[in-house]
Chain A
Amino acid sequence: MTEMNLVQAVNRTLHEAMREDPDVLVLGEDVGVNGGVFRATDGLFQEFGADRVIDTPLSETGIIGAAIGMALYGLKPVAEIQFLDFIYPAFDQIVSELAKFRYRSGGQYPAHVVIRTPYGGGIKGGLYHSQSTEAYFCHTAGLQVVVPSTPADARGLLRTAIHGEDPVLFLEPKRIYRSMTGEVPEGDVRVPFGQARLVREGADVSVFAYGAMIPPATEAAETLESEGISAEVIDLRSLVPLDEAAVIASVEKTGRAVIVHEAARFCGFGAELAAVLAEKAFYSLRAPVARVTGYDTPFPYALENAYLPNAGRIAHTVRATVRAA
């Protein structure tokens, strides 16, 4: 066990994976000499050289297209997109190509590319360094979408991604890259996809969140404890595949659900979660499913604190849900 923050855990995992497997390589903008704009790839260039830590031209479609070609050939590319907000030039490569290669080739050509990208608000990044648009990717069959919220999960999920068989969008909550540290295990400890994490046990209401929304969700639960409301907090970790069993089991126990994400509300991931609960846990629900999300506006620079869900807003909605029935 070593104590480190989330971005250090990503960095360490990349070092380990590249040592373990010569087919693993890293490519992206500023990932080499500079070590990445968030330093997630710091030191890789010095240890593994320019052949395996590739500073690319400024073209996301080039990065992902090239990574797909490498993966088809048998390498295990880990591509970095500098910010999720800049991924769209590669959207065609991701949704039309990467997600569909195994399927459209009848299994002949799997394309195992891992795309790491920092996402989310809270760093004063404005419209184009703050968005949380995971739903676009969750909607596309063939992509796995995972989001760690702790240093240990960052390592465990990234190991699963790199040593897996299918494409992964690995979303890094940049707001909590350095805001806390945690114990990170040694050895080949992997966090399987499709398994949610119980952050905090509770009896009255289930709060589902992921990524940078775990700290405010947990803070809200602690506040509510003193008011006599016992909130369970579940970190989904993996959006695709989704641990529906854990979601349903929790609501069967508590009878209430509050979904938290910083992405906009309309057609956000919470809509799918709410639908799952309506379809599969309807008779366990004692109150309407509630959502605490970003608003249906573009991400506002100067007003990001008003836009992003916080512990107060989450606690407010949880209270209302518990009091509803």
Chain B
Amino acid sequence: MAKVAVPTSSNLYRGAPSARRSGEMADSSTLSISPEVRSGEPFPERELLDAYKTMVLARATDERCLSLQRQGRIGFYAPLMGQEAAQVGASRAVTAQDWVFPAYRELAVALARGVPLRSVFDQLLGNAEDQIKGRQMPNHFGFRDINFVVASSPIGTQITQAVGAAMAAQRRKDAIVTITFFGDGATSSNDFHAGLNFAGVFRAPTIFFCQNNQWAISLPRERQTRSATLAEKAAAYGVPGVVVDGNDLDAVYGAVRSARDRAISGGGPTMIEAEVYRFGPHSTSDDPKRYRSDDEVAAARERDPIARLRSRLVAAGGWSDESDRALWDAVRQQVLHTFEAAEKVPPIPARTMFDDVFAHLTPRLEEERATYDSLLREGVEKP
């Protein structure tokens, strides 16, 4: 195996403990960072403020939803706090025609692709305007109009699907890529390995975007795998891998752009590991104090991607503490008002439960719906 130096570009992440370990291992020819992957261009300067606003919107939504869940106004929530730069950076590096295969923590990806917050809240509530008709838990949304495939709860299953869609695009000669989002836990799943293997064999134009947020519910990254990095797993499948600082918008954007360019030009897939930290619980059903210390979280929050971008914007001029406060106030108001409006929408009618199992109702489903209707008429079921 060719010996490859660890890139020195400032865009590539060199701060994480695991990346340091992989740097040491580079001497023994084990690579986590592949020569094919260039550091890429930085995030476009003129879009920085817009990206910042999306990140703030995602954070304000997270904070509001955690509180709404405690008040019993929504049933569940999975926050992404700490992963905003990774999600927005990656989203801005692909196009509207590219397909996203998300996990269930990708709120900022949806927002960055232009999903109205109201649609997210309609899904959170499962109300009559929910585009997925109240079929799934909060956070498991999907929006065909922006090529954001509907998420599921099983871990990693979207990965092989992203590869299949990329193979289909290849077959149709469409110049698009698929990008799949998953976490550190998913790198232990069947579909991660099958997906990388298929993508390698078929040179599928897929970007494997792993948000390594260090925790798979209670399992720390070190217990997920003995590998020094997650990205180096791609090497076994002949797929280039790269580790980036997920809190660095430039690093994320550059890596994804570079991966996209290579994929579009027939160079095949890339795996990108974005090192981030999950500030919040796995979900509102989780108490992270059982398995990690407040000190660890506080240390991670020192690297908050939103604070980092704010400092950069202020330093560049044209942004101030005052404008920042005004933005946060406005966004918090927007989040609250949007949620309250969604709350006023009536619930989804129960008899829609039988739709979309198949394109058309089977006789059995027709019969079950008729049974339900008669239970309603008799007052056994309440509307």
Q: Interface residues, chain A, CB within 8 Å of chain B?
A: 25, 51-52, 54, 56-57, 59, 61-62, 64-75, 77, 89, 92-93, 96-97, 100-110, 141-142, 144, 165-166, 194, 240-242, 244-245
Q: Contact string, B2-26, partner A, CB cutoff 8 A, digits 1/0?
A: 0000000000000000000000000
Q: Is B39 part of the contact surface with A, judged by Cβ < 8 Å?
A: no
Chain A residues near B160 (CB-CB < 8 A):
61-62, 64-66, 68-69, 93
How many whole Å from A266's CB to the nearest CB in chain B? 22
How many whole Å from A144's CB to the nearest CB in chain B? 7
Does A105 lie within 8 Å of B150, measured CB to CB? yes
A65-B160, A106-B356 given. 14 additional CB < 8 A pairs?
A62-B160, A62-B194, A62-B195, A66-B167, A68-B164, A69-B162, A72-B164, A73-B168, A75-B171, A75-B172, A93-B191, A96-B152, A100-B152, A241-B363
Q: Is B201 part of the contact surface with A, judged by Cβ < 8 Å?
A: yes
Q: Is B140 part of the contact surface with A, judged by Cβ < 8 Å?
A: yes
Measured CB to CB, the nearest residue on chain A to B358 is A166
Does B359 lie within 8 Å of A166, measured CB to CB? yes
Measured CB to CB, the nearest residue on chain B to A111 is B161
Q: Is B211 part of the contact surface with A, judged by Cβ < 8 Å?
A: no
Within the assembled complex, what's the spacing in Å between the Cα atoms of A107 and B157?
19
> Taking A61-B190, A73-B99 as contacts, is the C-beta distance between A102 and B164 under 8 angstroms?
no
* A-B contact list, 30 entries, CB within 8 Å: A56-B201, A57-B198, A57-B201, A65-B163, A66-B163, A66-B164, A66-B198, A69-B160, A70-B164, A72-B149, A73-B99, A89-B190, A96-B154, A96-B157, A97-B157, A100-B152, A104-B132, A104-B150, A105-B144, A105-B149, A106-B356, A107-B356, A108-B131, A109-B142, A109-B144, A166-B358, A194-B363, A241-B362, A241-B364, A242-B364
Give the A-B pair count, Cβ closer than 8 A. Answer: 155
From A51, A68, A89, residue with most partner B Cβ within 10 Å? A68
Q: Is B357 part of the contact surface with A, judged by Cβ < 8 Å?
A: yes
How many whole Å from A62's CB to the nearest CB in chain B? 4
Chain B residues near A103 (CB-CB < 8 A):
135, 356-357
Within the assembled complex, what's the spacing in Å between the Cα atoms of A166 and B359?
7
Chain A residues near B130 (CB-CB < 8 A):
106
Among A77, A97, A106, A241, contact of B133 (Cβ-Cβ < 8 Å)? A106
> Taking A103-B135, A106-B356, A108-B150 as contacts, is the C-beta distance between A97 and B161 under 8 angstroms?
yes
Chain B residues near A107 (CB-CB < 8 A):
133, 355-356
> Taking A104-B136, A108-B132, A165-B359 as contacts, is the C-beta distance between A65 and B159 under 8 angstroms?
yes
Does B164 lie within 8 Å of A65, measured CB to CB? yes
Within the assembled complex, what's the spacing in Å between the Cα atoms of A296 and B275?
51
Within the assembled complex, what's the spacing in Å between the Cα atoms of A65 and B142?
18
Chain A residues near B132 (CB-CB < 8 A):
104-106, 108
Within the assembled complex, what's the spacing in Å between the Cα atoms of A120 and B275?
49
Q: Is B227 part of the contact surface with A, judged by Cβ < 8 Å?
A: no
- In B115-173, the 8 Å CB interface with A consists of 130-133, 135-136, 140, 142-144, 149-150, 152, 154, 157, 159-169, 171-172
Does A69 lie within 8 Å of B131, measured CB to CB? no
Chain B residues near A141 (CB-CB < 8 A):
357
Q: Is B283 part of the contact surface with A, judged by Cβ < 8 Å?
A: no
From A51, A106, A109, residue with most partner B Cβ within 10 Å? A106
Does A104 lie within 8 Å of B167, measured CB to CB? no
Does A109 lie within 8 Å of B149, measured CB to CB? yes
Among B172, B190, B358, B364, contact of A102 (Cβ-Cβ < 8 Å)? B358
How many whole Å from A176's CB to the nearest CB in chain B? 27
> Taking A25-B171, A110-B359, A142-B358 as contacts, is the C-beta distance between A69 and B150 under 8 angstroms?
no
Does B136 lie within 8 Å of A102, measured CB to CB? no
Chain B residues near A242 (CB-CB < 8 A):
364
How many whole Å from A299's CB to the nearest CB in chain B? 25
Measured CB to CB, the nearest residue on chain A to B352 is A106
How many whole Å from B199's CB to the nearest CB in chain A? 9
Does A92 lie within 8 Å of B364, measured CB to CB? no
Q: Is B334 part of the contact surface with A, judged by Cβ < 8 Å?
A: no
Does B157 lie within 8 Å of A59, measured CB to CB? no
Measured CB to CB, the nearest residue on chain B to A141 is B357
Does B162 lie within 8 Å of A92, measured CB to CB? no
Within the assembled complex, what's the spacing in Å between the Cα atoms of A254 and B202?
57
How many whole Å from B239's CB to the nearest CB in chain A? 13
Does A57 lie within 8 Å of B197, measured CB to CB? yes
Q: Is B178 part of the contact surface with A, judged by Cβ < 8 Å?
A: yes
